[in-house]
Amino acid sequence: MEFKFDPELNTLARLVRERGCELFVVGGHVRNTLLGFRISDTDITSALTPDEMTGLCEKAGFKVVPKGADFGMVEIHIGDKSYEHTTFRADSYGEGGSHRPQSVAFSKTPEEDAFRRDFTVNALYASVLTGELIDPTGGLGDIEKRLIRTTTPDPETILKDDGLRIMRLCRFAAELGFDIEEKTFAAAKKCAPLLADISAERVRDELKKILMADAKYGLPAQESVLRGLELMDEVGALDVILPELARCRGVGQSPKYHKYPVLEHIFQTVSMSEPELTLRLACLLHDAGKPAALEKNGNMHGHDVISEDISREVFRRLRFDNDTAEEAAWLVRRHMFDLDGRAKEPTLKKRFAEWGEARVNALAAIREADFRGSVGERITVKTAERWRRVLGEMKAKRTPFSENELNCTGRDIMEWLSLPPSPRIGEIKRALFMHCAVRPQDNTYEKLRETSRDMK
């Protein structure tokens, strides 16, 4: 296998060799080259300490940004490219799984460095100058077997060092389509409680990657996203990071509408949705309120309201940005809208004008995913198709999708009706907006003036 590296990296490698060391590319770049997958980033490593690498780069005119010098990391900018360089090292950890090394000792060879890394497929080193491949932990054999295995004989050693590696284990298996080695899987189940020590931000970011696993290397969602979620459940990670979903495990549903219990249905729904993060977050939590609704009512009516509350709490706890949280929670709350497809077109048009094109399309997408996740097949969903047809007609007829798109202002309404400034002006403008949602041809200055007279 021939490795191809950026010319800028060859320049740096020659400078490193002049210092008596060898520069290696390590991890995903090497692994993905061997697998024929897309290269997303390039991590580099050598025996040079952060101070030594910084001095070398500054002398060569390269920008260096400290990222974690105490742990051997600096970010090197060469032209428009950037590379994270980590000094060969060995780490020592205390109790808990929060990934806080008690001590870091720099070392001299990749063989010493490899066994502090997580999985064998990520502990492969390729010399930038010669292309020589170094495989201290047996990663090449595991790539051939399509297997994820820890770098140490006792998997608990690696997983206890950083509890997030339990989620990373599930994520790599999902993204790459690999199996998890038996001892590694057993250790992950035993160590799953360590995820409680991980910061919300790190859990959030890893969850996002699992939800988007199919977008990484193009595997079908049923083989990647669905599998990643199922693995998280099987190892016990779900109980720690998303207990609201774990509560859905084993909760049955009417076989008339659902092929799966609640949790399996949720996983199916996520994997049936398009690879868009906000949509998949909504799918992940859209039925999270069903156990509580069942307990409260004896049925699942009103689960959409409860699920919205749960989703907002999850997004707050995992520190999602406000825009993503708001849009996903909005979808969760409305995923039961017009469930039987009996809403009249004027009703749909008013709602759609109020919600806007993007939200209507997202709602149609979650409806399709929900129905398909109920049967496990990519069936045609008539309500979603109808919504898109109505929305298309509205756009073709230049329907206003906000009050600002009306061809009149509040001042116009005051003049037309001889009214002073008051909340009533806003009410009339709102009524005109709803009128034009159904009759877009009336969105003219003259027609709006005429229509407003009946609203005084």
- Domain range summary for the chain, segments of one domain joined by +: 1-145, 146-241, 243-396, 400-455
pLDDT digits (tens, 9 = 90+) for 252-275: 998 888 999 999 999 999 999 999
The predicted pLDDT at position 362 comes to: 98
pLDDT of residue 96: 58
* DSSP assignment letter at 197: G
Question: Which fold, 1-145?
Answer: Beta Polymerase; domain 2 (3.30.460)
Three-state DSSP class for 195? Answer: helix
Mean pLDDT of 195-207: 97
- Whether the predicted pLDDT of 55 surpasses 90: yes
Please give the sequence-ordered ranges of beta strands (E in DSSP) within 374-448, or none if there are none: none
Q: Is the pLDDT of residue 94 over 80?
A: no
Give the torsion sign (CA, 35, 39, 43, 46). positive
Q: Is the overall model pTM greater than 0.85, yes or no?
A: yes
Mean pLDDT score, 48-60? 94
pLDDT of residue 40: 84
CATH top-level class of 243-396:
mainly alpha
Residue 298: partners with Cβ closer than 8 Å, 6 or more residues away: none
pLDDT tops 80 at residue 91: no
Say whether pLDDT at 19 is over 60.
yes
Q: What mean pLDDT do residues 162-172 have?
A: 97
Which pLDDT value is given to residue 102? Answer: 57
The CATH number of the domain covering residues in 146-241: 1.10.110.30
Provide the residue type at 257 as one letter.
Y
Give me the half-sphere count of Cα atoms (radius 13 Å) on the Cβ side of residue 360: 22
Share above pLDDT 70 across residues of the chain, in percent, rounded to a whole number: 96
Q: Is the dihedral of CA 351, 356, 361, 367 positive or negative?
A: negative
Give me the helices (H) in 70-164, please.
110-114, 139-145, 155-161
Residues in the chain: 456
Q: Specify which residues 78 forms β-bridges with.
A: 81
- What integer pLDDT is reported at residue 444 of this predicted model? 98
Q: How far apart are CA 405 and CA 393, in angstroms?
A: 17
